[in-house]
Structure 1
Amino acid sequence: MAVSQSSTSRAIDEVTNALNHQAVFNQWVHFPRNLVELRSLRTQFFKNQGFAGVIGCLDCTYVALWPPNILNANMPEHIFICDSELRILNVNAKFPGSTHDAHIWRTSNVQPLLTNLHQNGHKSFFLLGNLIYIA
């Protein structure tokens, strides 16, 4: 398929803008909004993967759309959370690639929510992630 770089860049820009529109993004990417949704995720994760108490998986990844011959130390790093069927529940893309994963997690909007749940006696909801997140 012969598509120019400028056409590809425009298409990526248009698709990205469409996906980031609040009405679209919030419909498809959202963390559970209440205990019923959290319990449903926990049940689904146990049924699909066999992990008790898990509501999602957490990971950081570098996302770069530059050609491979361009080296850039400030490629954006994204922390994302997905459920047992790999649906994205949350994304945090505020920091450059030089930012430590644990810092990205500590500044995410999900971390205080899970901390609050735990402090209020709801101690059976967990995210799976790398050891680095236990900071």
Structure 2
Amino acid sequence: MNRWGFPGDVGAIDCTHVAILKPKADEHNFLNRNNFHSINTQIICDSDLKIRNIFASYGGATHDSSIWNQSAIKEFMQGVHANGERSWLIGDSGYPLSPFLMIPVREAEEDSPESRFNQAYARARNCIEICIGLLKIRFRCILKEITATPDFAVKLKKSLCNTA
């Protein structure tokens, strides 16, 4: 709230692809839209770029919204909302709008209140883009150019959760 002016905002959410070697089983589940094998990893960070949650359980062919729908954080946010707390995550238009997950206004007319909202929203949501970029700079092994096995990707996820 203090930084971006969005009351109740608890963090930003997005997914990123962690490159892996071609798996021997169920290869089609790991081949993403960019034609490389990956784990599609959901990350939530706060405005200080601190990673608050990582969910790395689905192959690269899985859409961000499907990962969100299967995540424990969605259930947690539903419970918080059911208890009357009005807080939410901010995500991109690939996520479904809900009382606890805000997305930009689709097809906002130029110079409209919706357009101004989207501009402010993009500035606030930019923290997740920066966070993922810094993560990939620090841990070069998760970039497409340097691949990891699925086991290594899971170990990396666990180590990030323990240090976040």
Interval containing the TM-score (normalised by the shorter chain):
0.5 to 0.7
Q: CA deviation at 1:132?
A: 2.0
RMSD between aligned alpha carbons? Answer: 1.9
Q: CA deviation at 1:50?
A: 2.0
**3-state DSSP of counterpart to 2:43:** strand
Please tell me whether residue 125 in structure 1 is matched to residue 80 in structure 2.
no
Q: Does 1:84 align with 2:39?
A: no
What is the deviation of 1:72?
A: 5.8
Gaps of 5+ in 1: 1-45
Structure 2: how far apart are the matches of 1:57 and 1:111?
Answer: 13
Deviation beyond 4 Å, 4+ runs, structure 1: none
Q: Greater Rg, structure 1 or structure 2?
A: 1
Q: TM-score, normalised by structure 2?
A: 0.48
| Kept in 2: contact 1:73–1:98 (CA 8 A) | no
**Mapping for residues 90-129 of structure 1, pairs under 5 Å:** 90-122=53-85, 124-129=86-91
CA distance in 1: counterparts of 2:12 and 2:67, whole angstroms: 15
Query: Contact 2:65–2:96 at 8 Å: present in 1 too?
Result: yes
Higher relative contact order (CA 8 A, sep 6+): 2
Q: Cα distance, 1:74 vs. partner?
A: 2.9
**Alignment-mate amino acid for residue 91 of structure 1:** I
